[in-house]
Each structure stands twice: as structure tokens, then as C-alpha cells.
């Protein structure tokens, strides 16, 4: 049996850094991304395909054209995203990138998509964490769809305000000031862009990024995320 290069890399990495489940930390065989027990506890997001929420938000305020969210942000999903953000556990990004890509193909969205990008991270936060987890997710979505990944299409303004500390209204205001076109001067005229992030909370970040992409010429923006928060967690 001949292994593809990505599988060989996973095997060699496992020799140095044991492969662990992002949901529980259990040791896994080298080519597995998540244990069966944790995967079975992921709750599919039954939400509106336009706004990505249940109940719906005001569609007239949206700058993206539709939303795709895999799971509810709770339980094992929440733990796996924490591992992705803070412990370098990219297994969950690989797993969800494949899942999101499969659904985008099933829904026919991949046929109209031209490229994939991600919500940018501030330089300050990236220095602290060492990587942008949304970028890792976006790369695997792009790979699954066989589409180009546009790195640094957007920039984060390094706002000093931590987004998670703000109310929904404050997030909207903060997000509008936080994003600008990046140095990667790609012509987006009439293009459909898939915009990736890990968690979709109030939608203010996705909306602000989609607004910038539209101002840069994009025809459509599809907002995709690993998880969406439920109403009790959106404030």
C-alpha cells in the first residue's frame, strides 16, 4: 500500500509526538483524527442555512450570503476547539476541514466557489499563540475542495479590546474597526469566496470580514465555521 504525502507526514510526526484525540486527550493510532467516543458526542448544528443561527437573526443586516456551521459550540466540540486554539491540537481543524469540504461539495457550493480565505488574527495574538487556527482550518477546507487558499487577504488592526469580553453590540462596533484589506492584492471582482473561522458567535466578525471582501469586489461570501453558539451563549 502506498501512502499519500500527508499520511506519511502524519505517521512520521506520530513517532515524535504521540497522536491524541482533541476531545479527550486519549492516545490514538497515527492516522486517526478523533476517537469514536468524542466524535459521537459532537452535536450537529441544526440552524438556518442563511444566518447560521436558531432562531434566525436579521438577514437584512448580513454581508455574507449564507452560513455553514458544523456543530453546536458545547461539550466535546468546545473542548476540541480549546485544544486547537491553545494546545496546538490541529487534528480537529483537519477533521472539520474535511467535513466542511464534503458538505460544501454536497450542497453544490464548491462548484461556484473561487477561493478560500480566513478571518485574520491580530499580530499580538498570533505571537502569543504561534499560529492562526482559522487559517489552519481554511487550508484544509481549500485542500478538500481543491481551491486556492488566499493567505493574508484581510488584516486585523491589532485592536487592544479582546472580542470575547464584549457584549453583542460592542462586538459589532469593534469588528467594524478591526479588519482591513491585506497586502495580498488579489482581484476579487465577481469571485465567490469561502470565509473560514472556528466559532460563529454573534456573527459580527464574519459580517465585518464579509463586508471588507465585498468592498474588495467579491460577488458572494460563504461564511463557514466549525461551531455556532446557542442563544444562551450569544450575549
What's the pLDDT score for residue 12?
45
188 DSSP 8-state letter = -
CA angle 105, 109, 114 (to 5 degrees): 105
d(CA 69, CA 232): 17
Question: 52: left (phi > 0), else alpha (psi -120 to 50), else beta?
Answer: left
Tens digits of per-residue pLDDT, 21-72? 999 999 998 889 999 999 999 999 999 999 999 999 999 999 999 999 999 9
In which band, very low, low, confident or very high, does the pLDDT at 159 lie, cut at 50, 70 and 90? low
Mind listing the pLDDT tens digit for each residue in 91-111? 999 999 999 999 999 999 999
Cα atoms in the Cβ-side hemisphere of radius 13 Å centred on 78:
8
- Residue 149 in 3-state DSSP? strand
- The mean pLDDT of 204-222, rounded to a whole number, is 95
The average pLDDT across 109-137 equals: 92
Burial class (CB in 10 A: 0-12, 13-18, 19+), 11: middle
* Terminal CA-CA length for the chain: 51
Q: Is the model's pLDDT at 158 over the cut of 80?
A: no
Cβ(234)–Cβ(202) below 8 Å: yes
Comparing 144 with 173, the larger pLDDT belongs to 144
Q: In the structure, what pLDDT confidence band is assigned to residue 15 with cuts at 50, 70 and 90?
A: very low
| Rounded Cα–Cα distance for residues 161 and 122 (Å) | 11
What is the domain partition of the chain in residue ranges? 1-40, 42-233
Q: Which fold does the domain 42-233 belong to in CATH? A: Rossmann fold (3.40.50)
Stated as kind and residue range, the H or E segment containing 5 is helix 5-16
Angle at 125 between CA 9 and CA 68, to 5 degrees: 65
CB-count exposure of residue 198 (10 Å: 0-12, 13-18, 19+): buried
Amino acid at each position: 500500500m502506498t501512502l499519500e504525502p500527508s499520511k506519511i507526514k502524519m505517521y512520521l510526526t506520530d513517532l515524535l509526538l504521540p497522536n491524541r484525540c482533541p476531545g479527550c486527550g486519549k492516545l490514538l493510532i497515527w492516522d486517526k483524527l478523533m476517537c469514536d467516543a468524542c466524535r459521537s458526542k459532537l452535536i450537529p448544528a441544526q440552524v438556518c442555512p442563511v444566518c447560521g443561527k436558531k432562531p434566525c437573526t436579521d438577514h437584512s443586516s448580513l454581508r455574507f450570503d449564507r452560513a455553514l456551521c458544523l456543530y453546536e459550540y458545547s461539550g466535546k466540540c468546545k473542548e476540541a476547539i480549546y485544544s486547537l486554539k491553545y494546545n496546538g491540537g490541529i487534528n480537529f481543524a483537519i477533521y472539520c476541514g474535511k467535513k466542511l469540504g464534503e458538505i460544501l461539495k454536497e450542497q453544490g457550493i464548491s462548484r461556484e466557489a473561487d477561493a478560500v480565505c480566513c478571518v485574520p488574527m491580530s499580530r499580538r495574538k498570533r505571537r502569543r499563540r504561534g499560529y492562526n487556527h482559522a487559517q489552519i482550518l481554511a487550508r484544509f477546507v481549500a485542500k478538500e475542495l481543491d481551491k486556492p487558499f488566499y493567505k493574508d487577504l484581510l488584516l486585523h488592526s491589532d485592536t487592544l479590546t479582546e472580542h470575547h469580553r464584549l457584549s453583542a453590540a460592542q462586538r459589532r462596533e469593534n469588528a467594524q474597526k478591526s479588519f482591513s484589506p491585506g497586502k495580498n492584492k488579489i482581484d476579487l471582482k465577481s469571485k465567490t469566496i469561502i470565509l473560514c473561522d472556528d466559532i460563529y458567535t454573534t456573527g459580527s466578525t464574519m459580517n465585518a470580514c464579509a463586508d471588507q471582501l465585498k468592498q474588495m469586489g467579491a460577488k458572494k461570501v460563504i461564511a463557514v465555521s466549525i461551531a455556532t453558539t446557542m442563544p444562551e451563549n450569544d450575549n
